[in-house]
């Protein structure tokens, strides 16, 4: 006959299996159109997936909350192609669990404001701007690494992280 400690061990193991099954959390990235006049067109990719999510149109003042699963110990990314009038960026990374210069912690709010002059990553009560860049000029943001956004597709190939299959 099994001992009471054996039953306790089996019960603990059984209960731990439920904790492990629910160990995956999620993260939320919020995109908000703060342009007074232009519609934002967005299409996002989770973890460099080959198949993008659906194309979303955000009217001025609208937001899109993108919720996706966070896999601990793995690389987690959310990249989007964004259009604001004639300005656009191809596969701009909004969340990357391996890049501390942008949103990377699932428990922290990740808010991106899309504005006429660029993208604002709202973090710790302040806005870190990533300007639309049509000249390929370098922009330094204090101690933050240089980021570029371009409205010229040919130029973007040199400065925007591209998704590879």
Task: Enter the pTM of the model.
Answer: 0.67
pLDDT in tens, 120-132: 999 878 899 999 8
Cα distance between residue 70 and residue 5, in whole Å = 36
CATH code, 24-159: 2.60.40
The domain segmentation of the chain, as residue ranges, is 24-159
Q: Quickly count: other Cβ atoms within 10 Å of residue 133's Cβ.
A: 21
| Under 8 Å between Cβ of 113 and 61 | no
Give the distance from CA 17 to its chain's centroid: 30
pLDDT in tens, 46-72: 987 767 778 999 999 999 999 999 999
């Amino acid at each position: 006959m099994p001992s009471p400690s054996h039953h306790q061990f089996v019960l603990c193991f059984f209960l731990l299996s439920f904790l492990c099954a629910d160990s995956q959390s999620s993260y939320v990235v919020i995109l908000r159109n703060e342009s007074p006049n232009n519609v934002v067109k967005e299409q996002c990719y989770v973890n460099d997936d080959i198949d993008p999510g659906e194309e979303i149109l955000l009217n001025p003042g609208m937001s899109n909350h993108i919720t996706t699963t966070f896999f601990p110990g793995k690389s987690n990314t959310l990249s989007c192609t964004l259009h604001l009038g004639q300005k656009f960026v191809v596969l701009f990374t909004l969340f990357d669990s391996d890049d501390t210069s942008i949103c990377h912690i699932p428990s922290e709010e990740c808010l991106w404001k899309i504005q006429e002059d660029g993208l604002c990553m709202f973090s710790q009560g302040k806005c870190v701007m990533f300007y639309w860049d049509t000249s390929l000029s370098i922009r330094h943001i204090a101690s933050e690494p240089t980021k570029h956004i371009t409205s010229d597709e040919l130029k973007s190939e040199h400065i925007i992280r591209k998704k590879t299959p």
